[in-house]
Structure 1
Amino acid sequence: MDLDDLIADQHGIVSRAQALAAGFSADKIRWLVGSGRWTRIHAHTYATVTGPLTFHAQVWAALLRAGPGAVASHRTAAYLGGLCDDPGPVIHVTVPADRYVGGKIDGVRVHYAHRLPRTRHPAATPARTRIDETVLDLVNIAPDPGDAEGWVTAACQRRLTTPKRLTGALARRKKIRWRGMVEAMLADIADGAQSPLELRHLHRVERAHGLPTGQRQRRVAGRRVIWIDVDYDEYHVRVELDGRVGHTGEGRFRDHRRDNRATVDGRATLRYGHADVYGKPCTVAAEQARVLRARGWTGTLRSCGSRCPATRPMIIKETGRPDTPIL
């Protein structure tokens, strides 16, 4: 490939080795840098354009500096692949574990991996890890379960991968942090749970308190197709879990219209947000149980632990809505 075409493909970045291979002499490279036509970005890595570097150009510079076989990975690969909207302050690259990248690279974090030939995307540029592997890389360095959960559900919500593909990639890894949790999450997502909020409701509200199993992400066709977050169809009770996305502006009015239609059809709709499900899961469980019992559920609400207030008597405010259980 002509050097000009190569530089264009690399968003204005070139390495010393590439320039030499194209016939440039060491003296010519020094002259280009000394005259300001090229700018040194990292050791033996140059920008041939002026002005601030684009993110893609920064990634190319990091990859060329890291050397043969290097790929963008972790949050950098996530941003390039559409998994997140913020690339973060550091560019992440992974290189084969059988070689070492000497010297500090400003603004770049270098990782090493034995499995890189299997995890590298076969065609994407700049070179990066496959989306399934990117998700698992991020899970492996997640500081807490919530962050790990967020990466997995974001990948599925954005339709970048599927639970089946992630499960396969997970099985190929000998060691990974949060393995048990991720395996359980993938099984739940395959059953219809779509977000951390929905997964939290499934585990901490429904299962922890012995509530009946709702049908998640149920598609209901009528004049318009609607989706129900959690549907207890036998008892004519629906639960809507409202995150920030999709429930403002027109989304908020669409939700109201859906709830009104459900009421007309004799169905009760309970609506909870993050503060409810994460902050007061036992109170949510007690409220759901009260509504489900009124509509025919004969099961037993159980305590999720020694301090669980769900099975204790509830204070009913003037609004008629159960509030905090009496402690």
Structure 2
Amino acid sequence: MRLEVRARRWQRVGDQSVCLHNGPLSFTGHLWAAVLQGGPRALLDGEAALVAGGLQHYRVDRIRVSVPRGARVRRTPQYDIRQTRRWARDDAAPGSGLRRTRPAVAALRAGLWAVSDKQAAYVVTAAVQQGLVTPEALGVELLRIRRDRRRLLLHELVNDLLDGARSLGELDVARELRRRGLPEPDRQVLRRDGRRRYYLDLYWTDLGLVVEVDGIHHTWAENVLGDALRQNALALDGLTVLRVPLLGLRLAPEEFFAQIAAAIRHAQSLAA
């Protein structure tokens, strides 16, 4: 082995792994090398564990590996190997293959360790949208987190994913409209379209403007048809419909409220 490495036919990856070629190492190869570098109790964690478990269209800048308190840490600039008080044997995902934390654990830790609130919300939501974890499982795991600066944000986000905060989202929008000096809408207005009955989240009757506050369930396939039929029926009645995802209220509130304000001003100018 040493002869092959010295001859540069093979290459060392950290001090625990050898790659049997001298070309670029694949991301999966780096995942294996990171776990081996961490030792026998090491687990891929956070966003790296999610990607190893199937998360798509997500880039990991540095692979995180967790080991328990007191474990030997073989540090390397390539990988982020850390002791953590949150390590638990039951956190490991079942089955063979790459040792990693379960999706619910990995998603929440990815949120805790994200470089920004925006990234935290994105990675947790992506894990749910891609079917790696359910909001209910996140809620159970979240009870284990007693102290962290991002704990409240994650509680609010999981409520959004459970759709338990949809009405709260509507209240947030109404409160922000008042703060901006914009007219308040009616809330949960009943509409009928043939035999279909549905409620409009926020409705300015005199302006012909509707704002729908969408929870994550609106992205699920079984709800796409109903949402499209409802929006088309409203458009045929001459109403303007804006959609505001709950996640959008957290990540890009200024842009969404600017659109609502512009729609209100346009409708007022037409009514004048």
Question: Does the pair score TM above 0.5?
Answer: yes
| 5+ residue gaps, structure 1 | 1-28, 223-227, 248-254, 291-313, 322-327
Shift of 1:138: 1.7
Which residue number in structure 1 is paired with residue 201 of structure 2?
232
**Residue 155 in structure 1 maps to residue 127 in structure 2:** yes
Which residue number in structure 2 is paired with residue 96 of structure 1?
68
Q: Determine if contact 2:8/2:22 at 8 Å carries over to the other structure.
A: no
Match of 1:128 among 87, 100, 105: 100
Q: Distance in 2 between matches of 1:283 and 1:35?
A: 62
Match of 2:26 among 54, 60, 79: 54
Match of 1:106 among 49, 54, 77: 77
Q: Distance in 1 between matches of 2:136 and 2:228?
A: 34
Shift of 1:207: 5.2
**CA shift in 2, pair 1:76/1:200, >3 Å:** farther
Paired residues, what number? 244
Aligned AA for 1:30? R
Which residue number in structure 2 is paired with residue 19 of structure 1?
none
Which residue number in structure 2 is paired with residue 140 of structure 1?
112
**CA shift in 2, pair 1:191/1:270, >3 Å:** same
Q: Distance in 2 between matches of 1:199 and 1:157?
A: 21
SS at 1:99 equivalent: coil
Q: Superposed, which structure 2 residues align to 1:194-273 within 5 Å?
A: 202=170, 204-206=172-174, 208=176, 209=178, 213-214=187-188, 231-232=200-201, 238-239=210-211, 259-264=231-236, 266=237, 268-272=239-243
Q: Determine if contact 2:170/2:201 at 8 Å carries over to the other structure.
A: no
**CA shift in 2, pair 1:108/1:285, >3 Å:** same
Aligned AA for 1:268? L
| 5+ residue gaps, structure 2 | 179-183, 220-226
Q: Distance in 2 between matches of 1:44 and 1:221?
A: 68
1:26-70: CA deviation from partner (whole Å, max 9, x where unpaired): xxx333433445322221421123422211111111211221111
**CA shift in 2, pair 1:212/1:320, >3 Å:** closer
SS at 1:270 equivalent: strand
SS at 2:97 equivalent: coil
**CA shift in 2, pair 1:284/1:159, >3 Å:** same
Q: Distance in 2 between matches of 1:261 and 1:37?
A: 66
1:136-177: CA deviation from partner (whole Å, max 9, x where unpaired): 112212344333222332222222222211110010223233
SS at 2:24 equivalent: coil
SS at 1:177 equivalent: coil
**CA shift in 2, pair 1:221/1:167, >3 Å:** farther
Aligned AA for 2:40? P
**Residue 75 in structure 1 maps to residue 50 in structure 2:** no
**CA shift in 2, pair 1:319/1:53, >3 Å:** farther
SS at 1:122 equivalent: coil
SS at 2:66 equivalent: strand
1:60-99: CA deviation from partner (whole Å, max 9, x where unpaired): 1121122111121122123223335233332221112221
Aligned AA for 2:201? Y
Q: Which structure's residues are more often helix, by fraction?
A: 2
Q: Determine if contact 2:107/2:123 at 8 Å carries over to the other structure.
A: yes
**Residue 278 in structure 1 maps to residue 249 in structure 2:** no
TM-score normalized by the length of structure 1: 0.59
Which residue number in structure 1 is paired with residue 58 of structure 2?
86
1:234-258: CA deviation from partner (whole Å, max 9, x where unpaired): 979753579xxx99xxxxxxx9886
**Residue 172 in structure 1 maps to residue 129 in structure 2:** no
Which residue number in structure 2 is paired with residue 7 of structure 1?
none
